[in-house]
Structure 1
Amino acid sequence: MNYIFWDIESSGSRTTWDAIVEFGACLTDDRFKELDRFNFRCRLKPTVIPDIGALLVNKSSVEMLKNSNLSHYQMVQEVSKKFSSWSPAIFASYNGISFDEEFWRKTLFKSLMPNIYQTNTNGSKRIDILNVARAAKLINDDAIKTTISDKGNPVFKLDQLSVANGIEHKDAHTAFSDSLATKSIAEIIYKKVNSVWQSSLKTISKSETEEYIENNKIFSSIEYFYGKARIYLCTHLLYHPSWKWSICFDLKNHPKDYINLSRADLKDAMKKSPKILRTIKTNKSPVILDEKAGIKEEPYNKIGLDDLNKRIELLKNNPKFIENISSILRDEAEEKQSIDQTDLYPEETIYSGGFASDKDKNLMKKFHESDWKNKLNFIDKFENPNNSYFAKVLIYEESPDVLSKEMYNEIHREFAERLLSTNSEKWATTSKFYSELDYLREKYTKAKDAGRLKLLDGYNQYVMDIQKKFENA
């Protein structure tokens, strides 16, 4: 299967509220030979206040934010078409499953695209090269060269990893350059630690991950926290009653110490550290290796394979213990889910609002096929009121002149209230922007960085123009 190495740059780190400003990707065959590529820049959405730090990192000038050839909506359409033409494929990103993919999904959602799960449906799968790189380094320290942090841990930032491994990465933090660097890291792992690469390909979809953990009674789960990758020898117990993730027993613990606990004592034990249970998010392309990787590590090597198998049998013969764990997890999930969904903004309902109906998906297709004036005819036809809201916002952002005065004012006032708010909000506001601006001006004045100060002046004028537009709403 072909690979799609991809990356985005954005106006900030809030995946629900900020906007993509650049998108880069390259298509390769299964041996990393490039077949196609694209790089798109777009104008910043007029309903978004940027974070200065993000703009400085991804080298976005005011000229780019205002005058790029594509609008945000046009870029979404172009990328979606390109990805569709390249699919099915394995979508490969760097820290993408937790950031880039979430950003892209939510962008598709707000853009009324019928398939928001473009990277893992219709035969496509996904892999996070950051997770694979961490696993490769853990298994073979010489496979990937890294810098070392002040705390003595390997650093996996893409720009630093590229330098350490001799990868050309002149324009770090630009979308296409980062996608090529991700491809190069993948090639190194493929060549130097092929066993890890092949193992990572076994868990690039939810169904494949579930099949693996169900067919292997002992396996090595790779987790990363506090700056280090760690191996846990685990066995699968159950799927989370709400989230459907795999709940595994860490075999460094002996089941005899837990199987006869009362429900209350078991609940307390599940909260203590070190944890007796490990969670594998089967829909997040985890890296899982066979038992040979974990059996070499302490304390598993001291326990021995025979005793580990006996522990698994003990777990299997005590279904009540597993039922109690499931019950405790269900109660905890229900408590978390008790948040009143009516408090959510439409942009926040991607996972709580259910899948779009077939009727709405058909309307979305027709909406995109129509000119802006005719797009108005679809606003009141959607079954889901959030989709009607997104339609109005898209028209407001792309072709406001076709809106009635009443509808224009409705959307205009809503974004004026959001962007000009002086409260602490979920999204970027002019108030937050000016606070960041003051801090950075002082910093770069002390550093006598005339170039950065000039950029700050440009960003300031850009946001002042936005503020002026909304002040009289």
Structure 2
Amino acid sequence: MFLKDNNTINQSFIFYDYETFGLNVSLDKVSQFCSIQTDNNFNFIYNKVILFCYPPLDYLPDPESILITKILPQDTQKNGMNEYFFAKKIYDIFSQRNVCIIGYNNINFDNLITRNIFYRNLLDPYEWSWKNGNFSWDVLNILRAFYIFYPDIMLWRYNSNGSVSFKLSDITYINDIVHTDAHNAYSDVMATISIVKYLYKKNKKFFLFLYRISQKKSIFYFISKNYNKPFFYLSSFFGSINNNFGCVMFLGMHPLYKNVLIIINLSMNFKKIFRLYSRSIHETVSINQLFNCGVQIIYINKSPLFFAYNSMSIKDCDRVNINYLRCQKNFFLLQNNIHLKNWIVSYFSLNKFEEKDDDVDLMLYKNFFHSSDKRLFSFIHNNTPINWTQWFPKFVDTRVEEIFFRLKARNFVHILNFSEIKRWKLHCKYKINAVYIKDYMSKIKYLQLKYRSNKKKIFLLEQIIIYMNNIIYNINHIF
């Protein structure tokens, strides 16, 4: 049904996973990284790489995350490295030629963590995922696609609301796949490789089809053939209760970003979008209102999975909760309504980056790094930190001076001069202030009460308090 020719994979694979000290991809820090490289048949090429990273002075880890991973910051101080060296090692691994960088839910989590790590350490946040013939892929979406088109290929666990659970631990448990220690980066990577091997062996043809259609060229080709047709899209946008799958229509390319598509969910009640259109003559309409009507943007670099309209029968649509007739009706309502489609697309030309926070750690998406600044970054990465002390660069990007200062302070506080030490101390006290510490302790006390009969978790929470007190002491005694 899907492949017209014999496709092969001409890349090796780097499977990877992070364990983190929290879930905020911009502000929380990584505790552990693991990667394993395989050939195109998923046989191991290189031994595993396992790295630990200790957090900086201006950060306290989320206690709940530690209870899940069981990795204390004290462990990372003993066995790990600072984030600068950690980032450079990962950058070297990901900068190989012609590799597919793959994980489990990495598109919406681990890849974003990677971007932020590289951004904070003045490495290009994006090139690793596309340069040198590389691309990034997600096993979670592969599994979701197999469930839609070949549901009998493996066993599935179901949530209480009837939706399929795609938690890695649930997939491995019910299919008797070895997964010795969930939320350990090495164990999660090995389990992910085992799942891929299983799917590849069971239905190689469909697996190779998914590999091909996830490539950027294939995505643009698909849109060129289906720009005026309904088609199916696999995404968490639709929700687990809808099997992360829906029928959509292409509206246009984003007017500001060349690798972003604008689509609309054809399962929605289109009375909403027509009402909004008529109201826009008299009142201002926000982007969020468009999103609430089923409009969505799709990033090509996130390897979205699209499927032709004829790939699903009416019976198939019923099985995955898609109202086939409503989608057809809505498509014909919009197909020739050029004014409405242009009106929707035009709103995104106004959707520029808004600085909602003055924290440079949250400004990754404000802009790409300037080419002249990137040349200065080469000096940073080609010299030892002690050589930075007598170097006073002039950066074009207003973010970079603060990023470089934090990079030095977080990783090499001993090279700071007197004024920089004062600045760093003020920054740390601002981040970890009395109100923050009070809230942090309240959270720990709540968890101590919740898990009072669990000795292992109580021990971890006690160690977090010790770590917090050490951080407070060290901030107050910075030189």
What is the TM-score of this pair, normalised by structure 1?
Answer: 0.85
Unaligned runs of 5+ in 2: 1-10
Residue among 421, 430, 435 paired with 1:408: 421
> Given residue 236 of structure 1, which amino acid in structure 2 is its aligned partner?
F
Deviation at 1:197, TM superposition (A): 2.6
Return 449-458 or 194-203, whichever deviates more. 194-203
The corresponding residue for 1:425 is: none
Q: Match of 2:61?
A: 50
For each residue in 1:430-472, what CA deviation from the matched residue of structure 2 results, as whole angstroms up to 9, or x when unmatched? 3343122101111222x2x222212221111011110122246
Q: Deviations over 1:119-156 (max 9, x none)?
A: 23332111111122122112222223222211122111
C-alpha contact (below 8 Å) 1:202/1:209 kept by paired residues: no
Following superposition, the deviation at residue 235 of structure 1 comes to 3.8
1:232 corresponds to: 246
Q: CA distance change for structure 1 residues 399 and 209 in 2, over 3 Å: closer, same or farther?
A: same
Structure 1 377/276 Cα, relative in aligned 2: closer, same or farther at 3 Å?
same
> Counterpart of 1:99 in 2: which secondary structure?
helix
* Residues 62 and 458, structure 1, Cα contact 8 Å, conserved in 2: no
Query: Which amino acid is the alignment partner of residue 442 of structure 2?
Result: S
How far residue 396 of structure 1 moved from its aligned partner, in angstroms, is 1.8
Distance 2:369 2:101 in 1: 23
Q: Tell me, in whole angstroms, the C-alpha distance in 2 between the residues paired with 1:456 and 1:253.
A: 46
Partner-residue secondary structure (3-state), 1:464: helix
**Structure 1 residue 91: Cα displacement:** 1.2
What per-residue deviation string (whole Å, max 9, x for no partner) do you get for residues 372-411 of structure 1?
2212234533333422222222222222222111111111
Distance 2:107 2:323 in 1: 33
1:58-77 counterparts in 2 under 5 A? 58-77=69-88
Greater Cα shift, 176-185 or 20-29: 176-185
Aligned-residue offset at 1:32? 1.0
Instruction: Give the match for residue 366 of structure 1.
Output: 379
Amino acid at match of 1:444: Y
Alignment partners' CA distance in 2, 1:198 and 1:382: 45
Q: Which residue of 1 aligns with 2:172?
A: 162
SS in 1 for 2:468: helix
Find the counterpart in structure 1 of residue 469 from structure 2.
Answer: 464
Could you give the per-residue CA deviations for residues 68-107 of structure 1, whole angstroms, max 9, x where no partner exists? Answer: 142222221112112223x321111111111111111011
* SS of corresponding position for 1:238: strand
Q: Is the 8 A contact 2:272 2:293 kept in 1?
A: no
Tell me the CA shift for residue 249 of structure 1. 5.1
Which of 200, 203, 209 lines up with 2:219 in the alignment?
209
CA distance in 2, matches of 1:115, 1:103: 10
Deviation at 1:60, TM superposition (A): 0.6
Shift of the alpha carbon at 1:158? 0.9
User: In 1, are the aligned partners of 2:144 and 2:244 still within 8 Å (CA)?
Assistant: no
> 2-side partners of 1:258 and 1:405: how far apart?
59
- Report SS of the residue matched to 2:390: helix
Q: 1:121 aligns with which of 116, 128, 131?
A: 131
Correspondence 1:389 to 2:397: no
| Structure 2 counterparts to residues 76-87 of structure 1, below 5 A | 76-85=87-96, 87=97
Structure 1 residue 211 displacement after superposition: 2.2
Deviations, residues 268-290 of structure 1 (Å, cap 9, x unaligned): 9x969995656544332112223
- Higher mean C-alpha deviation, range 149-158 or range 189-198: 189-198
Q: AA paired with 1:386?
A: R
Tell me by how many angstroms 1:344 deviates. Answer: 2.7
Preserved CA contact (<8 Å) 1:3 1:90: yes
Distance 1:159 1:378, change over 3 A: farther
| 1:202 to partner: Cα distance | 3.4
Residues 366, 195 of structure 1: alpha-carbon distance in 2 compared, 3 angstrom cutoff = same
How many corresponding residue pairs?
A: 454
Q: Structure 1: any 5+ residue segments left out of the alignment?
A: 423-428
Report the Cα distance in structure 1 between the residues aligned to 2:136 and 2:210, rounded to whole angstroms. 10
Cα distance change on mapping 1:204 and 1:126 into 2, 3 Å: farther
In the alignment, which of 220, 241, 247 is matched to residue 255 of structure 2? 241
Partner of 2:196: 186
> Structure 1 pair 312/126, CA: closer, same or farther in 2 (3 Å)?
same
Choose the corresponding residue for 1:220, options 222, 228, 232. Answer: 232
RMSD: 3.3
Contact 1:42-1:69 at 8 Å conserved across structures: yes
1:38 aligned onto 2:57? no
Q: Does the 8 Å CA contact 1:8/1:23 hold for their aligned counterparts? A: yes
